[in-house]
Amino acid sequence: MGNEKKQSKLKRIVAKRGMGQVITVTFGLVGLIIVFSFLNPFFLTSRNISNLLRQIAPTLLTGIGQSFVLITGNIDLSIGSVVGMSCMISATLMTKGVVPWVAVLITYLASLLMGLLNGKLISKAKLPAFIATLGTMTIARGIAQIVNNNYNTDSIGEAAEGFQQFFYYGKTLGLYNTIWITLVIWLIFNFLLSRTRTGRHLYAVGSNLHAAHLSGVNISSTITKAYLVSAFCATTVGLITTATSGMGTMDAGNGYELYAVAASVIGGVSTLGGQGILLGTVVGASIWGVLQNGLQFAGAPVAIRNIVIGIIVIITVLMDIFVRSNKRIGKAKTSADGNSSPALKHKL
């Protein structure tokens, strides 16, 4: 009986939409780890694993934000610039003597405003997400530059040591705090996405906007929530960046939006909206991190690393399109305009 229950629970987990791709890419991840551990025995040491996890954290955090946005059928190109903006705002405030935790709060508020702006431009002003976030990407980068008169900041100083320990250097239970922060944020947002009404509304908006509207879903609020999550995650990465370098750099976060898209898509979040789970984003970000780390250990030049990673992203997106189009044909065959399920068939 208990065994049956376990089996049915396992079946339910596997049957969950998007889990198929997560399982596939997990095999890929395991394969990569095995290959890199053969290429370099240092790869699987506890020290490297700990560093690897810390390296993965920013990609995973931005990936979580981007996954929320992609699930609603939109995209957030401003993530990288928001990382840079929050890095500069927090560092500038701290160098001006503001208490680090107040600086953190102000940084979060400023970045969430950017998320709010994104959400409203897309849901209320009906701007295409690509254009709206392209605009805010430039605005946020401009703010990052202007906030300290076009200069990187000086060191945030000893007063911010606690801040640096909390976000980057400190350890809890043997793991870096960055990893713990990422884990907590992932757990919260995974719960929000999979277990709450808001999560269902996010999927509904990405799957069929019109039907979601007719079902009473507040489209504007739902899309805005996704962008707020994205801005929150980007800000956290910005703060980690500040804590890491101990200063604010204007070009922090450059290109992060694309890493975030890659992590999400590799993990099975569809760029067409309505599909994906955050477990996939973990695997996607891990693949990204393992490739970076492993190729570095293998002595591959940066250019080769970029080419390999780019090819993997394209292959993954192609797989997504292939699987989706096959499903569509399957649907046409079996359902849509098709077939009765065995459950109903005997009633007809």
Partner 1 sequence: MKEEILRVENVIRKINGITYLNNITFQIFKGEIMGLLPLDNHGKSQLIELIIQNVPVHFGRVYFDDQLVNYYEHSSMTRNRVYLIDKETNLIQDLKVADNICVLNHTFSDYIIHEKKLQRVAAGLFQQLGIELDTDQYVSELSLLEKTIVELVRAVLNGAQLIILNELSNFLSIEELAFFQRLLRYYTQKGISFLYIANHHEEAFQICHRVMLFEKGKIIKIIAEKDFSDEILQPYILSFGRHQVTNGQHNQTGVLKCQDLWTENLKGLSFSAKKGECITILDMNNRGIQDIAAIINGFRQPESGRIVVGGKEISLAPGRNLFLDGVAYIPENPVQESLFFDISYLENLTFMLERKLKRSIIPRRVLWGIKEEYRPLVGDEIEAEDLWGLEMRSLYNLVYLRLLFYKPKVVFIMQPFSHADMYLRRRIIELINMVKAKGIAVIILAVSISDTLSITDRLLIMEDGKLVSSGQRLADLPAYVANQPQ
Contacting positions for partner 1 (CB under 8 A):
12, 15, 17, 195-200, 203-204, 206-208, 210-212, 214-217, 274-275, 327, 329, 331-341, 343-344, 347-348
Exposed, middle or buried: residue 271 (CB in 10 Å: 0-12, 13-18, 19+)?
A: middle
CA–CA separation, 30 vs 41, rounded Å? 16
For residue 332, the minimal CB distance to partner 1 (Å) is 5
| Residue with Cβ nearer partner 1 (174 or 342) | 342
Three-class SS of 1-23: CHHHHHHHHHHHHHHCCCHHHHH
| Residue with Cβ nearer partner 1 (24 or 198) | 198
For residue 9, the minimal CB distance to partner 1 (Å) is 11
For residue 218, the minimal CB distance to partner 1 (Å) is 12
Closest CA to 272 of 224, 320, 333: 320
CA–CA separation, 128 vs 123, rounded Å? 9
Q: Max Cα separation, the chain?
A: 76
Closest CA to 254 of 92, 74, 58, 105: 58
| Residue with Cβ nearer partner 1 (47 or 347) | 347
Nearby residues of 334 by Cβ (< 8 Å), 6 or more positions away: none
For residue 125, the minimal CB distance to partner 1 (Å) is 21
Closest CA to 89 of 246, 232, 248: 248
For residue 235, the minimal CB distance to partner 1 (Å) is 25
| Residue with Cβ nearer partner 1 (165 or 339) | 339
Straight-line distance from the first to the last Cα atom of the chain, in angstroms, rounded to the nearest whole number: 33
| Residue with Cβ nearer partner 1 (174 or 216) | 216
CA contacts within 13 A on the Cβ side of 19: 9
For residue 67, the minimal CB distance to partner 1 (Å) is 14
CA–CA separation, 313 vs 301, rounded Å? 19
| Element spanning 172, H or E | strand 171-172
CA–CA separation, 100 vs 163, rounded Å? 6
| Residue with Cβ nearer partner 1 (206 or 238) | 206
| Residue with Cβ nearer partner 1 (109 or 336) | 336
For residue 200, the minimal CB distance to partner 1 (Å) is 5
For residue 185, the minimal CB distance to partner 1 (Å) is 19
| Residue with Cβ nearer partner 1 (60 or 217) | 217
